[in-house]
Amino acid sequence: MSAPILSPLRPRHLPQALALQAQAYPAFLVEPEDAFASRLHVAAPFNLAAEHDGALLAYLLAHGWTHESPPPVGAVLDPATTGDTLYLHDLAVSAAARGTGIGRRLVEAAFKDAVAAGLTRAELIAVEGAAGYWRRLGFEAATPSPALVAKVANYGPAAQWMWRPL
């Protein structure tokens, strides 16, 4: 297979992205269409797609957000939202593309765009045992503040709050 093409994640990707999200995440982490779509309009340059022959192989939803205050699962975001931190909300890679490094390519492209936009930090909540993957990309686990503990818990029992400098 030739290398996937990276491009901005657009509304036209929404049907394939929702299907990929449903395959990649447990039901309690699958976001409704309106919440997912709202993320396409918040800091759109950080939302990326990897495609091959019209098929969506992977996507990254990431947006500027306020330090240590991730949005709740399923929240519809205001498109005017900005922040001082790149928040990596969702990375999903299809079964066909796992192990190809496409997730890393998407994340590194978002980091580059975030640095160009003046952001200096990235944060995420690692779910379903993905903390090891994120460590390989430079993230480290951090003890969440008391205000963050409940939000992180909503992402599942294995969820971990993580960050890294850009």
pLDDT tens across 54-95, in order?
Answer: 999 999 999 988 899 888 888 898 888 778 899 999 999 999
Reported as a single tens digit per residue, the pLDDT across 108-117 is 999 999 999 9
Q: Residue 6: is its pLDDT beyond 70?
A: yes
Reported as a single tens digit per residue, the pLDDT across 108-156 is 999 999 999 999 999 999 999 999 999 999 999 998 888 899 889 889 9
Q: Residue 1: is its pLDDT beyond 70?
A: no
Q: Residue 104: is its pLDDT beyond 80?
A: yes
Domains belonging to the chain, first-starting first, are: 5-165 (3.40.630.30)
Specify the pTM: 0.93
Q: Residue 162: is its pLDDT beyond 90?
A: yes
3-state SS, the chain, equals: CCCCEEEECCHHHHHHHHHHHHHHCCHHHCCCHHHHHHHCCCCHHHCEEEEECCEEEEEEEEEEECCCCCCCCCCCCCCCCCCCEEEEEEEEECHHHCCCCHHHHHHHHHHHHHHHCCCCEEEEEECCCCHHHHHHCCCEECCCCHHHHHHHHCCCCCCEEEEEEC
| pLDDT in the model for residue 123 | 97
Q: Residue 43: is its pLDDT beyond 80?
A: no
| pLDDT in the model for residue 80 | 81
